[in-house]
Amino acid sequence: MSLKNAKVLTISQSIQPFMDGPEEMAKVARQMPQGIMECGNEVRVFMPKFGCINERRHQLHEVIRLSGMNLIINDTDHALLIKVASVPNARMQVYFIDNEEYFKRKSSTHDADGVFHVDNDERALFFARGVLETVRKLGWAPDIIHLHGWMSAFVPLLVRHQFNDDPHFENTKLVLTVYDDKNEPLDKELQKKLLAEGYSKDLLKGLAKPTTDELYKFAMSMSDGVVKGSPKLSRSLENAIKASEKPVLAYADEAERVKAHADFFHGVLEEALV
């Protein structure tokens, strides 16, 4: 195994056993950190604390020393709560990003009728900011941030443009795993919200007509490597991956997955040294 003594931060929209869907993502985001850790690396794992997660069954508890920060999203203050739980049968913890307004509802990204939540763009922004602020508070500098799902896709923007002078992230490499999710429309005001935060119009041009696929492409443009998380992706995402000229890890089945990722991460870190 070629990856050793690296610090790998996993940020996923879904992780088993806390959530089962989307199935491929929840499974990979559960398997990968443990496998990478067992190869002799240090991991931290984060996901949103969706209201459908059973806190009692999974024994979540609040981490008081990390909670209590306020994050401003679209000109409104939102309190950041951090919870933690252990993964059964693994020496691994998962941190949860929680907030009354964004994550209290008893569903994840869609309501009971399958309708995509209108504020998912803000929930994704809050999630990304919450993770990075918590990692800073932990005083932990990841070598690699491994992102799973469109809900983690604002992390590259924040790492490259908001926290670009922060010593915690100055040498961090970003690897984005793209899944075959249904392409959903995001709030058409998204670009305007980000402009108000001081990002340049040129940087945000990929989000003029924001959808979850466009958000994947936006994140891809600022990442150091891309992983195909599903055996097949939409033509639009396949084309974007080809055009990106980033190192790409093809879809790997369960038996090969940990070794394939460890080798890929090692290659991305080596590339940085050349």
CATH number of residue 241's parent domain = 3.40.50.2000
> Span 44-58, mean pLDDT?
96
pTM of the model: 0.96
DSSP string, 214-272: HHHHHHHHT-SEEEE-SSS--HHHHHHHHHH---EEPP--HHHHHHHHHHHHHHHHHHH
Counted domains in the chain? 1
For all residues of the chain together, what is the average pLDDT?
95
In a domain, 70, yes or no: yes
> The domain containing residue 178 runs over which residues?
7-269
Residue 274's pLDDT is 55
Q: How far apart are CA 211 and CA 120, in angstroms?
A: 11
What confidence tens digit (pLDDT) does each residue in 218-272 have? Answer: 999 999 999 999 999 999 999 999 999 999 999 999 999 999 999 999 999 998 6
Specify the 3-state DSSP secondary structure of 78. strand
Lowest mean pLDDT among 84-93, 118-127, 173-182, 220-229: 84-93
What confidence tens digit (pLDDT) does each residue in 1-41 have? Answer: 479 999 999 999 999 999 988 899 999 999 999 999 999 99
Q: How far apart are CA 43 and CA 177, in angstroms?
A: 17
Which tokens go with 4?
Answer: 């050793």
Can you state the angle between helices 235-244 and 212-221, rounded to 10 degrees?
A: 10
Q: How far apart are CA 149 and CA 29, in angstroms?
A: 10
Residue 216's pLDDT is 98
pLDDT over 80 at 175, yes or no: yes
In a domain, 1, yes or no: no
Classify strands 42-48 and 7-12 as parallel, antiparallel or unpaired: parallel
In a domain, 161, yes or no: yes
In a domain, 274, yes or no: no
